[in-house]
Structure 1
Amino acid sequence: MKKILLALLLVGGFPSVQATGETDPLSKVIAGAHRPTEHKARDQYRHPGQTLEFFDVKEDMTVVEIWPGDGWYTEILAPYLKVHGKLYAAHFSADAELPYYQKSLKNYVTKLSKQPDLYGKVELTELQPPEALKIAPDDSADRILTFRNVHNWMQNGQAAAVFNAMYKALKPGGILGVVEHRGSSKKPQDFTGASGYVSEDYVIALARNAGFEFLAKSEINANSKDTKDYPEGVWTLPPSLRLKDQDREKYLEIGESDRMMIKFIKPIQAFYRAAGLSPV
């Protein structure tokens, strides 16, 4: 029995539950009419279906989405998990000092409230380090997903604290999925994350320092056209286009940034320690 449990935990949980006759529910959600046209236009860069498949997200799982912004991925995760799973959205605190954080949270809450049939089961939590770090109950999440946020935590000097919080919320055997603007491996890492680009080695080090183990990485969201040397950092590229009309066509041709995609696991030994058992 212990070996069976170990095998299930190593793959991130128990088999998914799907309705009889239902095929590819994730693709149906991604193609859904509820997603704005401008959001669907970014699928060519973000590859949401392949990304969530790489992170092995199943519709019966408990998932935490970290700093969901305007809800681009929430539009996919919430309806996908609505029936059999659970989605925590760890957004900014309502007491955040920066007006940007307050406005972002307000817009997100408004978005959820307008379509309760899709988003009514989303549970909002707070991630505002260093004070608010309880993103979900301890050892409760099958998956924690963060999309292009690591550089923000670096700018605030809170990256280590956030990785520790994610580790605490994951189940032993659960997976952390990280998507981030990938910096050049030939340049020293700017630990403030000012350009928006972060090296894979640095992300891996942050995760390992928190207790995670590296599982795998994917090139699904790679972009070889991205030279990573722009006047306004990653925000020079679309969708931000901070230089506005200056070299606009050039940056549109490059497209969105080159992105790493890495998954980590909370080691199975954590399960045995919590249960007072010895590893097999």
Structure 2
Amino acid sequence: MLAASTVLLASCAQPPRADDTAATSAAVTAAVASPDRPAAETQRDNARKPADLMLFSGIKPGDRVVDLMPGGGYFTRIFSKTVGPSGHVYAFVPEEFLKIAPKSLAAAQGIPNDAYANVTVVSQPLADLSVGAPVDAVWTSDNYHDVYGFVGAAAAAQLDAAVYRALKPGGVFIVVDHVAIAGTSDTSAHTLHRIDPETVKQQVLAAGFKLEAESDVLRNPQDPHDAPVSGPAVRGPAGQFATMIRRTGGHTDQFVLKFRKPG
């Protein structure tokens, strides 16, 4: 069942049957607990709340999932174990990011191995996202701001349209990102690696999605929203917060949005 920190906003899909929910919960639990996961990743679980986020997403055994901008594969590996051999995971590295983050493709290519044989790495332009057949879910964690801030607002809108086309009717688009001060996306996305959640909502809804639910599992009221997510700490309260995050292994204030393609 969904965590208590979830706010349902629309009834866009039939609720899962109890036996399906139990099977998904068991698969997620096993995926997070998998001994195949690198220790450096499992040590971050308290801050990243992967089980809560997975149950919120509804990703289940047998699903086809696109992990947009997978980084080192933290969630890619969890998706792989959750969907199992009857499902598939596509680690999508945008071609536009090969200049911004030159090592991103190599990092993604290091994910598939015998333990994660159902993972395929894909690199295409953002607007051309496609894996050959419709998918059940597209996920991006802490990266939407990079598209918006480093490639452009228009590119983010094109990505949303591509995600819509890539999904099955009824498929979900999960967006997790660092909260920016309201109305500051145009500057914060580039300088602080943050974005106003209202900016994301406006763009994704314009692509045809319905906002189904939000989760506050990663909210942090102590975050002043003007602290850079990465890079050298700055002076003042923002710098103190950035230092606290690094020392405690905590997390920024993050929004979690679940959009659904009607169908």
TM-score range, shorter chain: 0.7 to 0.9
After superposition, residues 108-123 of structure 1 pair within 5 angstroms as 108-112=108-112, 115-116=113-114, 118-123=115-120
The one-letter code of the counterpart of 1:135 is: S
Unaligned runs of 5+ in 2: 1-11
Label 1:25 to 1:98 Cα distance change in 2 as closer, same or farther (>3 A).
same
Q: 1:224 matched to which residue of 2?
A: 221
Which of structures 1 and 2 has the larger relative contact order (alpha carbons within 8 angstroms, sep 6+)?
2
Counterpart CA distance in 1 for 2:136 and 2:218 is 23
Label 1:161 to 1:243 Cα distance change in 2 as closer, same or farther (>3 A).
same
Label 1:86 to 1:51 Cα distance change in 2 as closer, same or farther (>3 A).
same
Q: 2:138 matched to which residue of 1?
A: 144
Label 1:190 to 1:37 Cα distance change in 2 as closer, same or farther (>3 A).
same
The answer to whether the 8 A contact 1:88-1:135 is kept is no
Q: 2:104 matched to which residue of 1?
A: 104
Q: CA deviation at 1:190?
A: 2.2
Label 1:192 to 1:99 Cα distance change in 2 as closer, same or farther (>3 A).
closer
Counterpart CA distance in 1 for 2:244 and 2:141 is 25
Deviations 1:229-256 (A, max 9, x none): 22xx2215xxxxx349x85753434822
Q: CA deviation at 1:197?
A: 1.4
The one-letter code of the counterpart of 2:251 is: E
Q: CA deviation at 1:213?
A: 0.9
Q: CA deviation at 1:23?
A: 7.3
After superposition, residues 179-190 of structure 1 pair within 5 angstroms as 179-185=176-182, 187-190=183-186
After superposition, residues 4-83 of structure 1 pair within 5 angstroms as 10-11=13-14, 24-83=26-85
Share of identical aligned residues, percent?
25
Q: CA deviation at 1:60?
A: 1.6
The one-letter code of the counterpart of 1:199 is: D
Specify the SS of the correspondent of 2:225.
coil
Label 1:135 to 1:153 Cα distance change in 2 as closer, same or farther (>3 A).
same
Q: CA deviation at 1:17?
A: 7.0
Q: CA deviation at 1:16?
A: 8.1
Higher helix share: 2
Label 1:172 to 1:99 Cα distance change in 2 as closer, same or farther (>3 A).
closer
Q: CA deviation at 1:123?
A: 2.2
Unaligned runs of 5+ in 1: 1-8, 237-241, 269-280
Q: 1:256 matched to which residue of 2?
A: 251
Q: CA deviation at 1:18?
A: 10
Label 1:84 to 1:235 Cα distance change in 2 as closer, same or farther (>3 A).
same
Q: 1:87 matched to which residue of 2?
A: 89
Counterpart CA distance in 1 for 2:59 and 2:98 is 34
The answer to whether the 8 A contact 1:221-1:259 is kept is yes
The one-letter code of the counterpart of 1:27 is: T
The answer to whether the 8 A contact 1:65-1:87 is kept is yes
Task: State the superposition RMSD in angstroms.
Answer: 3.0
Please identify the structure whose Cα radius of gyration is greater. Answer: 1
**TM-score w.r.t. structure 1 length?**
0.76
The answer to whether the 8 A contact 1:13-1:174 is kept is no
Label 1:167 to 1:123 Cα distance change in 2 as closer, same or farther (>3 A).
same
Label 1:62 to 1:97 Cα distance change in 2 as closer, same or farther (>3 A).
closer
Give the number of aligned pairs: 242
Counterpart CA distance in 2 for 1:23 and 1:106 is 32
Q: 1:274 matched to which residue of 2?
A: none
Label 1:14 to 1:171 Cα distance change in 2 as closer, same or farther (>3 A).
farther
Deviations 1:36-72 (A, max 9, x none): 2221121112110110100111112111111111111
Specify the SS of the correspondent of 1:54.
helix
The answer to whether the 8 A contact 2:181-2:226 is kept is no
Counterpart CA distance in 1 for 2:197 and 2:97 is 30
The one-letter code of the counterpart of 2:176 is: V
**TM-score w.r.t. structure 2 length?**
0.81
